[in-house]
Chain A
Amino acid sequence: MRAGSAASFSRRTVLRGGALAAGGLILGIGLPAEAKEGRVSDGVITRGAKLNAFIRILPDESVTMIMPAVEMGQGAYTSMAMILAEELDIGIEAVTLEHAPPDQKNYANPALGAQITGGSTTIFAWYLPLRKTGARARQMVMAAAGEAWGVDIAALRTAGGKVLHDASGRSATYGALAGRAASIVPPEDPPLKGAADFKLIGRSLRRLDTPDKVVGKTIYGIDVMLPGMRFATLAAAPVLGGTVAHVEDGEALKVPGVSQIVVLDDMVAVIGEHMWAVKKGLEALQVEWHDGPNATLSQADLWTRLDNASLQSGVVAKAVGDADGKLTGDGVYETVFELPYLAHAALEPLNCTVHVRPGACEIWVGTQVMGMAQAAAAEAAGLDPSQVVVHNHMIGGGFGRRLEIDCVTNAVRIARHVDGPVKIIWSREEDIRQDRFRPLYHTRTRAKVERGEVTAWHHRITGPSILARWLPGAFQKGIDPDAVDGAVGTPYDFANFEVEFVRHETPEVPTAFWRGVGPNANVFAAECMMDRIARDLKVDPVVFRRSMIHSKPRALGVLNLVAARSGWDMPLPVPAGGERVGRGVALLAAFGSFLATVAEVVVADDGAVRLTRVVTAVDVGQIVNPDTLEAQVQGGTVFGIAAVLHGQITIEQGRIQQSNFNDYRVTRIDEMPVLECHFVRNEEAPGGIGEPGTVTVQPAIANAVYAATGVQLRRMPIDRLLLARNAK
Chain B
Amino acid sequence: MLHVMINGMTRVLNVPSDMPLLWVLRDVVGLTGTKFGCGIAQCGACTVHVDGVPLRSCQLAIGAVGARAVTTIEAIGETPVGKRVQQAWLDQEVVQCGYCQSGQIMSATALLTSIPLPNDDDIDAAMAGNICRCGTYVRIREAIKLAAKERDA
Contacts and interface: CB of A to CB of B under 8 A. Distances in A.
Contact of A627 (B20, B72, B93): B93
Contacts of A216: 31-34, 72-74, 102
Nearest to A637: B135
Interface residues of A, number: 65
A347 B35 contact: yes
Interface in A267-312: 273-277, 279
B134 A73 contact: yes
Contacts of B135: 634-639, 667
A274 B30 CA distance: 11
B20 to A, nearest CB: 6
B95 interface: yes
Contacts of B12: none
Contacts of B43: 347, 661
A3 B73 contact: no
Interface string A189-206: 000000000000000101
B141 interface: yes
Interface residues of B, number: 59
A21 interface: no
Given A206-B93, A225-B32, A276-B19, A670 B128 contact: yes
Given A214-B101, A220-B99, A667-B137, A348 B35 contact: yes
A631 B86 contact: no
B124 A222 contact: no
A347 B131 contact: yes
B75 to A, nearest CB: 9
A394 B92 contact: no
Q: Is the interface of B mostly helix, strand, loop or mixed?
A: loop
A46 interface: no
Contacts of A667: 135, 137
B90 interface: yes
Contacts of A211: 90
B20 A276 contact: yes
Interface in B81-104: 86, 89-102
A378 B123 CA distance: 48
A72 interface: yes
Interface string B19-58: 1100100111011111111111011010000000000000
A277 B132 CA distance: 28
Contact of B42 (A219, A636, A662): A662
B136 A635 contact: yes
A209 B98 contact: yes
A225 B37 contact: no
B105 interface: yes
Nearest to A427: B39
Given A210-B98, A396-B98, A669 B140 contact: yes
Interface in A1-24: 2-4
B96 A428 contact: no
B42 A661 contact: yes
Contact of A668 (B99, B128, B141): B128
A213 B101 contact: yes
Nearest to B30: A225
B139 interface: yes
B118 interface: no
B16 interface: yes
A279 B22 CA distance: 13
A397 B97 contact: yes
B9 interface: no
Nearest to A398: B97
Contact of A672 (B23, B31, B74, B138): B138
Nearest to A273: B27
B27 A231 contact: yes
B137 A395 contact: no
Nearest to B123: A669
Given A3-B93, A275-B27, A631-B136, A215 B74 contact: yes
B92 A3 contact: yes
A179 B137 CA distance: 48
Given A3-B91, A660-B42, A396 B27 contact: no
B133 interface: yes
B86 A215 contact: yes
Contacts of A658: none
A215 B90 CA distance: 11
Contacts of B20: 276
Interface string A362-397: 000000000000000000000000000000001111
Given A666-B131, A668-B131, A631 B93 contact: yes
B98 A73 contact: yes
Interface of B: 15-16, 19-20, 23, 26-28, 30-40, 42-43, 45, 72-74, 77, 86, 89-102, 105, 123-125, 127-128, 130-141
18 contacts: A207-B93, A210-B94, A214-B86, A214-B95, A214-B98, A222-B32, A225-B32, A274-B15, A274-B27, A275-B26, A346-B99, A347-B132, A396-B98, A661-B42, A667-B137, A668-B131, A670-B124, A672-B138
Given A213-B98, A217-B33, 16 more contacts: A73-B96, A73-B134, A206-B93, A214-B89, A215-B86, A216-B72, A218-B98, A223-B32, A256-B16, A257-B16, A276-B27, A347-B35, A425-B36, A428-B38, A660-B40, A668-B137
